[in-house]
Chain A
Amino acid sequence: MSLRNDEWNRLDNVANIFPPTSDERNTKVFRFACELYEPINPKILQISLDKTINEFPFFCSVLKKGLFWYYLENSDLKPMVKSESKPPCSPIYDRNSKNLLFEVTYYKSRINFEVYHVLTDGTGALQFLRYLVYNYLVLSHKAEFENKTPILDYDASITQKADDSFQKYCTKGFKLFNNKKVSAFQIKGTKIPENRIKVIEGVVPIKKILDEAHKYNTTLTAFLTAVLMCSIYKEMAEREKTKPVVVAVPINLRKYFPSETTRNFFSLMDVDYNFKKNSDKLEDVIQYLNENFRRELTKEKIKEKINTFATLESNIVTRVTPLFLKNILLKLSSRYLFSDTTASLSNVGKVEMPDEVSSYIRLFDVFISTSKLQICCCSFKDNLTISFTSAFLSTDIQKNFFRTLTDIGISVEISANTID
């Protein structure tokens, strides 16, 4: 089944922010990739992609401009599998040409799914990639799966997948701006030429790092955030220490509101820590974050947050402002409207695949374009892949981060892209 050709969708609540704020440096493109133990066969991958797109017809959309809003129009363009030939997270949306908002590429034994954030978030992209990898493995190992086809546990209708969950769960609230506005510490340094990003990935055993987090009675996300904050702190100059380190942590709203959507359904939580006023010991940072996470991650708090943006979107003045003006205003105000952050950390969580196909998969990883520094992580089987993306040439923060892990006895396996 596919959607009708003239079918169109409005952008979901958060997606509205991406087109005016994405540029050559911060492309708002992220990559979810899966590495197998065997080289990729492009022909089979193409067949798998065709199959997968039938399950996710919403992904075959192009972004168009109306007079007041952007919208997604269903397109009959066919996605083509290509060999990886561009730097990771290169721009996908080109306002002057009509093209799909995602790309499937392969390199050696890895399948990459790169997507513009307007279309989906990490969880949605993961569902697509899981289907793609599943279809690929079932097709390329036909003989083995002939009698017993493994089952992928994702039960959502096509309309459920294309559902705008913000519309469903937001109510009108009035609390436009965050009450506290802190000016965050900003990482400085030479940026990588040609708007490229540095990718450094570390694979660590999930059990070891979870044990470590549980030692402090905290969650993996809070533990990693604390390690990141301390790693940034070590690179701060003395006079900059008055400023807090602010890390933005996306919250997967599907955990709080039932939804099977593959579109954006997340919110951002900012955690800040001032090293001048507080101790710089890891355990103290963890305790502080623990409190912070517990306070912020309540259904009421989260609801308040999504209502804020929904109110902004449904405001009559916002609605009748022509798109080009809206874009200029959003671009200018994004620094004030959205919080000022030092870095971001996004934990996509556990990737699950049917047991029968798992043995063919080496790892999953995810990372996103950034103009600053960002961590994305996901776990598969016994491993956690922690991926740093950075716009800066210096790798000191990454070094501090992974050395903290190796110092407490966690083994790390690093892979990185090279920049000439």
Chain B
Amino acid sequence: MKFCNNCKVNIRGQNKYCPLCQSELDAENETENIFPNIPTIFHKHNYFIRVMILISVAVSVICAAINILFPTDIWWSLFVAVGIACFWVSISVAILKRRNLPKNILYQVIILSSISFLWDLLIGWQGWSLDYVIPIICTLAMAAMAIIAKVANLQAADYLIYMLIDVVLGIIPLILVFLNVVNMRIPSLICTVSSIISLTALILFEGENMFSEIKRRFRV
């Protein structure tokens, strides 16, 4: 035990200085540490991401500069910048939600669908986002979630709600078919058919779990 003459207190541990007044203590009477020494943490994994962001910004700015130097009919550099931004939105969500795959998949469905719809609008509406991209993403997500749930042996609470939301989203293409905004009907119909089959399967096999999950998730 050490003693601080200024504070008149006994001090346990390996402190060289008094924790209260910072005056020097006798080096003798080394006792055991009270708390483990925990070194400063360096975030190494952040380094890679920072380099990637720097490269992204550099590419966008250089493209814009080239575009200004050699003007063309369209501002192609804008597409580069928007494309890189979209990539980052998707990737950052994927990294943040990496520990919860079903949620990650659902978020990607929403993000990629919105991005494709906006791109379609941006480059003059041709309808490919509604015809192909959105129904295909929804269908793939449904399949992926079902496979992951089986393979990783997930519990109902860990995937049901995300699966259910995706299934409900999968019915939207059918509405669009009826509203005649879709030119190519096959992907939309495949999506809706898988949705209805999945929903039936969910109710039949996980019905009780599903309703209790809905109840707790939507408790007001």
Contacts and interface: CB of A to CB of B under 8 A. Distances in A.
B113 to A, nearest CB: 20
B81 interface: no
B114 interface: no
Given A10-B219, A66-B217, A96-B96, A418 B10 contact: no
A255 B98 CA distance: 45
A402 B20 contact: yes
A399 B7 contact: yes
B99 A402 contact: no
Interface in B128-181: 155-158
Contact of A66 (B10, B96, B219): B219
Interface string A96-115: 11100000000110000000
Contacts of B32: 108
A85 B36 contact: yes
A169 B97 CA distance: 39
B28 to A, nearest CB: 17
B1 interface: yes
A416 interface: yes
A18 interface: no
Contact of B8 (A6, A71, A403): A403
A107 B18 CA distance: 22
Given A6-B209, A96-B96, A66 B218 contact: yes
Interface residues of A, number: 43
B34 to A, nearest CB: 4
B71 interface: no
Nearest to A8: B216
A69 B41 contact: no
A373 to B, nearest CB: 14
Contacts of A6: 156-157, 209, 212
B165 to A, nearest CB: 11
B116 interface: no
Contact of A395 (B19, B157, B209, B216): B19
Interface in A373-420: 395, 398-399, 402-403, 406, 411-418, 420
22 contacts: A6-B156, A6-B212, A66-B217, A67-B218, A68-B218, A68-B219, A86-B38, A96-B99, A96-B100, A98-B158, A108-B32, A402-B20, A406-B9, A411-B10, A412-B7, A413-B12, A414-B20, A415-B12, A415-B13, A416-B13, A416-B15, A418-B14
Interface of B: 1, 4, 7-15, 18-22, 32-41, 96-100, 155-158, 209, 212, 216-220
